[in-house]
Structure 1
Amino acid sequence: MRVAAAVTALLFLLVACGTGDSGLVPAPTGPVSTVAETTEHNPIDVMFLQMAVAHHKTGIEIVRLAKDKSVRTDVKTLASAIEVTQLSEVDSMLQWLHDWNQPESPGTEAQLHANHGGDHSTSPEAIATLAATGPGEFERAFLNLLIAHQHNAVEIAKFEREGGVNPQSKALAERIFQSRTGQISQMLGYLD
């Protein structure tokens, strides 16, 4: 139900802001997921969700920086859409972890990333540097940081696609892979 409300809010946001010829990646249509819910999962599903929750929360922090900065309307609209989507995805992931009796995080950063391709997070220092960036340079710095951040989301999604067993988690990984790849392409176009 939360996912349906978030998709409705996202569609409303995109319509209210107007998409015109802005080149925005189109919002998904139809049902969010037709995957039957199950609690079957393996350690990779759990690790994916734990990594993705932390990564999404950082992404939300990044996109919120564009709200009060001087960026073009298309960039502001994309940032708002990313925030809505990732908030909804975090809700779903936390619910699945709860349903599986798993913690939001496995513990220390070393445990979180051991044997899973390294740290896929954006550092607090990089976010602080972006927040302090002047108006003439902010948009380019924002897009570059967000492109790198979303690339890391694609890498995390690949981890789940290759080894997870939970159908909902795998479907989410596929949506993340597709949507973040589209966002990266869109943002690279903004940098031209």
Structure 2
Amino acid sequence: MLAAAVAVAALGACDNTPAAAPPAPVAASSAAAPGSPGTFGGTDLAWIEITIAMDEELLPLLALVPSHGADPGLKELSAQLSEAHQGELVDLRALHDRARLPDENPHKGMPMPGMVTPEQVAEATAVRGAAFDTLVVRHLTAHLQQGVKLAESEGKSGVEPQTRALAERVIDNRRDWLTQAKKYA
């Protein structure tokens, strides 16, 4: 339990922006030796849940881009991001199931840096064209930057090999997408 609390605190410390109180810690999910396949530490568990929530909350914003956006390049990037995040969710949900995490995600809807909120999606729904593109790029940049920070924490403190490998892919992808998003800022 202590390791999970430390992991959640470590993930939360990735940004200086105040965030909601962390959820109750979850115990590691296997009796196998730390670092062996199937062993999930507290950081692994927290990262899986947080990343699932962040990815799920981003998708409704990305779904607006084809009908509300103006820039064809941003539309193409958002389509790539949507497809990639949906694929990432498949991998995250498989890890979630292997870790035997609860069905209800304590991070879903939690206001935190980089989390696209329903209010932000509603705000984006009300605008079109260049103003929409500016808004989307701002939220997308925050999401991608926080995703890198969280995945770096997983890389440093996670113990489950497949989870750490996914975090490395997340870091690489989000850094690449950040570079692409800067073109539209």
Give the match for residue 77 of structure 1. 76
TM-score, reference length from structure 2: 0.72
Give the match for residue 180 of structure 2. 186
Give the match for residue 166 of structure 2. 172
Give the superposition deviation at 1:122: 2.3
In the alignment, the residues of structure 2 paired with residue 109 and residue 75 of structure 1 have an alpha-carbon distance, to the nearest angstrom, of 26
Give the match for residue 48 of structure 1. 47
Quick one: which amino acid aligns to residue 78 of structure 1?
A: L
Give the superposition deviation at 1:190: 2.2
Map residues 17-28 of structure 1 onto 2, 5 A cutoff.
none
Give the match for residue 116 of structure 2. 122
8 Å CA contact retained: 1:120, 1:156: no
Give the superposition deviation at 1:136: 3.7
Quick one: which amino acid aligns to residue 107 of structure 1?
A: P
Map residues 154-169 of structure 1 onto 2, 5 A cutoff.
154-169=148-163
Distance change >3 Å, CA 170–CA 108, structure 1 → 2: closer
The 3-state SS of whatever aligns with 1:45 is helix
Map residues 104-143 of structure 1 onto 2, 5 A cutoff.
104-107=103-106, 120-143=114-137
Q: Deviations over 1:39-66 (max 9, x none)?
A: 1211110110000000001121221110
In the alignment, the residues of structure 2 paired with residue 42 and residue 71 of structure 1 have an alpha-carbon distance, to the nearest angstrom, of 44
Equivalent pairs, count: 150
Distance change >3 Å, CA 174–CA 108, structure 1 → 2: closer
The 3-state SS of whatever aligns with 1:68 is helix
In the alignment, the residues of structure 1 paired with residue 130 and residue 183 of structure 2 have an alpha-carbon distance, to the nearest angstrom, of 19
* Long gaps (5+) in structure 1: 1-36
The 3-state SS of whatever aligns with 2:67 is coil
Distance change >3 Å, CA 120–CA 187, structure 1 → 2: closer
Distance change >3 Å, CA 164–CA 105, structure 1 → 2: farther
Give the match for residue 29 of structure 1. none
Quick one: which amino acid aligns to residue 59 of structure 1?
A: L
In the alignment, the residues of structure 2 paired with residue 109 and residue 88 of structure 1 have an alpha-carbon distance, to the nearest angstrom, of 19
Identity %: 20
8 Å CA contact retained: 1:161, 1:170: yes
In the alignment, the residues of structure 1 paired with residue 107 and residue 131 of structure 2 have an alpha-carbon distance, to the nearest angstrom, of 35
The 3-state SS of whatever aligns with 1:40 is coil
Quick one: which amino acid aligns to residue 100 of structure 2?
A: N
Compare 160-169 and 68-77 and name the one that shifted more: 68-77
Give the match for residue 38 of structure 1. 37
TM-score, reference length from structure 1: 0.70
The 3-state SS of whatever aligns with 2:68 is coil
Give the match for residue 11 of structure 1. none
8 Å CA contact retained: 2:53, 2:105: no
Q: What's the RMSD between the two structures over aligned residues?
A: 2.3
